[in-house]
Amino acid sequence: MIELKDVKKYYQMGDSVIKAVDDISFKIMDGKCTVILGPSGSGKSTTLNLLGGMDTVTSGEILLDLEDISKYSEKELENYRREKIGFVFQFYNLIPQLTIRENVGITADMVSDSLDVDEVINAVGLEKRKNLFPQNLSGGELQRVAIARALVKNPRVLLCDEPTGALDSETGKMILKLLKETSKKHSISLIIVTHNSAIEKIADQVIRVKDGKVVSDTVNENPLEIDEVVW
Partner 1 sequence: MKYLIKKMLRDVQQNYTQFIAVFLMATISVMIYSGMASVWTGLSSTVKEEVDETNMANLYVSATNITDDDVSDIKDLEEDLEISLICKRSFNTVDGESEIEVNTVNNFDVSKFTLISGETYKEDKEGIYLDKDYAEKHNLNIGDDVYLLNAWGEEVTLTLLGTIHSPEYIYYTGAITETVPNYEKYGYGFVSNNTFLKLNSKINYTLAKITTSSEITDDMLSEILGERFVSVTKRADYTTYSRVEKEVEQMKKMATLFSLVFILLSLLTMYTSMVRLVNRQTQVIGTLKGLGVKSRQIKFHYALYGLITPLLGGLLGLLIGRLTVSKVLLNVKKTTLYLTEWKLVFSASSFILIAIIIICCSMAAVLAVRKVLKSETTDILRGNINQGRVKKELKDKYFLSNFSYEFRLAIRNMSENKVRFIMGIVGVLGGMVLMIAGLGVKDSINGSNDYVFSKQFTYEIKGILKIPGSVLEGEDGLQYLYENSVEIKTDLKDKKTILTALEDGNYYHFYDNDDNEINIKDAGVVVSRHLADELGIKAGNTISIKVNGDDSFKEIKVNAITKTLTPQGIFFSKDALEDAGIKFIPTSFLTDQKDAEYYRNLDEVKNCITREEQLNNTKTVADSVMSVVKLLLLASVMLSVVILYNLGILNYVERIRQYATMKVLGFYMKEIRSISISESIITTLIGWIFGMLIGGAFLKLYVKIISFDTFEWIAIVNLRTYIIATLVVVGVTLVVNILLNKKIKKIVMVEALKSVE
Contact footprint for partner 1 (CB under 8 A): 46, 49, 52, 54-55, 78-79, 81-83, 85, 87, 89-91, 93, 95-99, 102, 105-107, 109-110, 131-133, 135-136, 149, 153
Partners of 159 in the β-ladder: 87, 191
Which sign, positive or negative, has the C-alpha torsion 140, 142, 148, 149?
A: negative
What's the rounded Cα separation, in Å, for the pair 191 and 207? 10
At closest approach, how far in Å is the CB of 46 from partner 1?
Answer: 8
Helix (H, G, I), strand (E, B) or coil at 190: strand
Under 8 Å between Cβ of 176 and 164: yes
Closer residue to partner 1 (CB): 60 or 105 = 105
- Give φ, ψ of 48 to 5 degrees: -65, -40
Query: Cβ 92 to partner 1, closest distance in Å?
Result: 9
> Which is nearer to partner 1, 49 or 205 (by Cβ)?
49
| Least spacing, CB of residue 114 vs partner 1, in Å | 12
Q: Give the residue with the Cβ less far from partner 1, 79 or 216.
A: 79
Query: Is 87 within 8 Å of 52 (Cβ atoms)?
Result: yes
CB of 173 to partner 1, least distance (A): 22
DSSP 8-state class, residue 217: E
* Comparison of 22 and 55: residue with beta carbon closer to partner 1: 55
**Residues in Cβ contact with 14 at an 8 Å cutoff, skipping those fewer than 6 apart:** none
Of 25 and 97, CB closest to partner 1: 97
Report, in Å, the least distance between residue 151 CB and partner 1: 12
